[in-house]
């Protein structure tokens, strides 16, 4: 697994998200705490809502269009809703956010 540096953690607001554009679609990078980041597809499986624009709480995000809530650890929709978002490996090193290379190139390389 190789890691790609996508930016500094301070560029992502606490309890917020930023977008990473790739050929296979947009990935949302979430910052849930001072030093805690998650990555997942930006698109809500319900109606395609942009998850990076949602309210981030605990280790979850709420879709801004219809309030579906996803656990960022598992990608599972919470509560009554049924669905799942793809999550991607991401880690922090000296304040830099590193995203799994495979997340960006997997499908285009295939």
Which parts of this chain interact with another protein (CB under 8 A)?
Answer: 6-7, 11-16, 18-23, 26, 29, 47-50, 53-58, 60, 62, 64-65, 67, 69, 97, 104, 108
CA-CA-CA-CA dihedral for 42, 48, 51, 54, to nearest 10: 170
Distance in angstroms (rounded) separating the CA atoms of residues 101 and 6: 10
Identify which of 40, 70, 48, 47 has the alpha carbon closest to the alpha carbon of residue 57.
70
CB closer to another protein out of 84 and 105: 105
CB nearer another protein, residue 45 or residue 54:
54
Considering the complex, what minimum distance in angstroms separates the CB of residue 50 from another protein?
A: 5
Which H or E run includes 32?
Answer: strand 25-33
Nearer to another protein, 62 or 87 (CB): 62
CB of 33 to another protein, least distance (A): 8
How many angstroms separate the CA atoms of 62 and 24, rounded? 23
CB of 22 to another protein, least distance (A): 5
């Amino acid at each position: 697994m190789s890691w790609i540096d996508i930016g500094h953690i301070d560029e992502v607001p606490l309890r917020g998200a930023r977008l990473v554009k790739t050929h296979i679609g947009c990935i949302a990078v979430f910052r849930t705490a001072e030093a805690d980041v998650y990555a997942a597809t930006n698109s809500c499986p319900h109606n395609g809502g942009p998850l990076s624009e949602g309210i981030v709480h605990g280790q979850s995000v709420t879709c801004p269009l219809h309030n579906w809530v996803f656990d960022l650890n598992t990608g599972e929709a919470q509560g009554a809703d049924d669905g799942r978002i793809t999550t991607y490996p991401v880690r922090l090193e000296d304040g830099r956010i590193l995203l799994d290379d495979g997340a960006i190139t997997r499908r285009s390389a295939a």
